[in-house]
Amino acid sequence: MTERQQNDKRSYSERLRGYTTEELEDIYYRMDILEQPWHHGELTAELSRRKLAPTEPHAAPTPQDFGPWLQRLPIIRRHTVLYVVVMVTAVLLASVLMTLICLSPIWAFAVPGGFLGIQTAIVYLSIAPLGPVFGFLYGYKVGGRRFSAVALLGVMGALLLFNATGAPSLIIHSVLTERSNGGVSFSF
């Protein structure tokens, strides 16, 4: 870096010190990082010197993990076994409920609704994998990596409960016993 560039850098950082916080944030959001990378570096250095972090204009709130929140409770900190029991229960319930919620439209249309046949079976089979996937992901989100096996057990339990409703066997039975007159029929 030449002496002129160093002087420009120093004068720019001195100018930044004279700006208010609102002006610094305005500069931060309007700056082209690729065009002026060292300006961006000086600006972020000034923001960090003031112990400020630029806020996103429409930043979504970040969800907090259940585990760290639970560990803040005094009774949980004293009894680690209680922490494990509560976490296993929460992950199991979360994965079971999410899986069943995602599979419930299949049951609702097939059993009480009576929408059966080869066309609807294709639709049911295409959306059926979403339930276990979403159930596992939700259980994983609640429990984190340490409790992923519990989330998988919850999904398997939910699939067994869904099978106990009779919907899968009813759908398979409707496909196997569908009557046709033979040949190909086109209907609109």
SS3 content of the chain, % helix, strand, coil (to 5): 70, 0, 30
Do residues 33 and 126 both lie within one domain?
no
Do residues 76 and 155 both lie within one domain?
yes
Do residues 40 and 131 both lie within one domain?
no
**pLDDT at site 9:** 75
Residue 56 lies in a domain: no
CA distance 120 to 186: 17
Do residues 42 and 126 both lie within one domain?
no
Do residues 36 and 88 both lie within one domain?
no
Q: How many domains does the chain have?
A: 2
Do residues 36 and 119 both lie within one domain?
no
Do residues 41 and 123 both lie within one domain?
no
Could you list the residue range(s) of the whole structural domain that residue 13 is in?
A: 3-49
Residue 60 lies in a domain: no
- CB 155 within 8 Å of CB 136: yes
- Length of the chain equals 188
CA distance 178 to 182: 11
Q: pTM for this one?
A: 0.60
Instruction: Please report the DSSP string for 52-79 in residue order.
Output: --PPPTTPPPPPPPHHHHHHTSHHHHH-
Residue 36 lies in a domain: yes
Do residues 103 and 164 both lie within one domain?
yes
Cα three-residue angle 101-105-107, rounded to 5 degrees? 100
Residue 82 lies in a domain: yes
50 SS3 class:
coil
CA distance 61 to 59: 6
Sign of CA dihedral 144, 147, 148, 152: negative
The candidate with the shortest Cα–Cα distance to 119, out of 174, 162, 82, is 174
Q: What is the DSSP letter of 156?
A: H
Do residues 81 and 121 both lie within one domain?
yes
Do residues 26 and 108 both lie within one domain?
no
pLDDT in tens, the chain (188 residues): 677 777 777 788 788 888 888 888 888 877 877 777 777 788 888 888 877 765 555 444 445 567 887 888 888 888 889 999 999 999 999 999 999 999 999 999 999 998 888 889 999 999 999 999 999 999 988 887 888 899 999 999 999 999 999 999 999 988 888 665 554 444 55
